[in-house]
Amino acid sequence: AQTIHQWPVAEIKAVGSPLSLGCTIKGKSSPNLYWYWQATGGTLQQLFYSITVGQVESVVQLNLSASRPKDDQFILSTEKLLLSHSGFYLCAWSQQNSGNTLYFGEGSRLIVV
Amino acid sequence: AQSVTQPDARVTVSEGASLQLRCKYSYSGTPYLFWYVQYPRQGLQLLLKYYSGDPVVQGVNGFEAEFIKSNSSFHLRKASVHWSDSAVYFCAVSAGSNNRIFFGDGTQLVVKP
């Protein structure tokens, strides 16, 4: 069975500090990977997706970047956090040619102060 | 472009009552349609999905949804709700081919004992 793990579970960071959120998928080779951002109680905004190692497509520019250094890993990062980056970050995977059926991780909660 | 509208931000029902959560989508082709549920401080879980075939699809925990093409709708139903169904429900649409998945704003379901 496939498992998806996100880290850290939660962080409190200062404005202007760097950030790195991670996501690892086990039990699935060559998945499509996604990052979503959710404001408190809000809708989900797709940030990035990746269909293969080293290839990342940006959907929305929020002063964030993403990388896929390995087939099973997806990293979200920024060098300087803004207050607006606060929220819930969700990583998801889908099987290729599955119509984009997403399977989500448990999320990482970020509070920027 | 694809989009999803969930007109009801919050729905309150009594335990044991029937439920319908509304979803309308905008997409010119044949969409992939999804319903997800999100419990507090967790990621999203897939309830059901539809692409083709029988327009009424069954999901987990007694949920079902009906695809009505003429109305561009994909409403979620349950015959008898339980207090544990209290959560936020998201409808989503995808073209299937471009790795873009659009979510509605979500409907918070409150089940009264």
Query: For A8-43, what is each residue's pLDDT tens digit?
Result: 999 999 999 999 999 999 998 899 999 999 987 788
The CATH number linked to A84 is 2.60.40.10
Return d(Cα B34, Cα B23) in angstroms, integer: 10
- Reply yes or no on whether the pLDDT at B97 is more than 80: no
Residues of B in contact with A5 (CB under 8 A): none
How much is the pLDDT for A16? 97
Q: Cis link prior to A8 (omega < 30° from 0)?
A: yes
- How many structural domains comprise chain A? 1
A23: Cα within 13 Å, side-chain hemisphere:
30
Window A:43-72, CB contacts with B under 8 Å:
43-44, 46, 49, 51, 57, 59
Torsion region of B16: left, alpha or beta (phi above 0 gives left; psi -120 to 50 gives alpha): left
For chain B, the domains span 3-112
Window A:21-40, CB contacts with B under 8 Å:
32, 34
Torsion region of A96: left, alpha or beta (phi above 0 gives left; psi -120 to 50 gives alpha): beta
Mean pLDDT of the region A73-77:
98
CB-closest option in A42, A100, A104 to B94: A100
Nearest to B48 by CA among B72, B30, B21: B21
pLDDT band at A100 (very low <50, low <70, confident <90, very high): confident
Across the A:B interface, residue pairs with CB atoms under 8 Å apart total 58
- Reply yes or no on whether the pLDDT at A98 is more than 80: no
Structure tokens at A40: 């408190």
Q: Does A105 touch chain B (CB under 8 A)?
A: yes
Q: What is the mean pLDDT of chain B?
A: 93
How much is the pLDDT for A62? 86
How much is the pLDDT for B96? 66
- A101, B96: Cβ pair inside 8 Å? no
Mean pLDDT of the region A81-110:
92
- Reply yes or no on whether the pLDDT at B100 is more than 90: no
The fold for domain B3-112 equals Immunoglobulin-like (2.60.40)
pLDDT band at B67 (very low <50, low <70, confident <90, very high): very high
Q: What is the largest CA-CA distance in chain B?
A: 43
Amino acid at B1: A
- Reply yes or no on whether the pLDDT at A61 is more than 80: no
pLDDT band at B37 (very low <50, low <70, confident <90, very high): very high
CB A76 within 8 A of CB A35: yes
Residues of B in contact with A100 (CB under 8 A): 32, 94, 96, 99-101
Looking at residue A72, the DSSP 8-state letter turns out to be T
Share of chain A above pLDDT 70, in %: 99
Q: Which domain holds residue A94?
A: 3-112
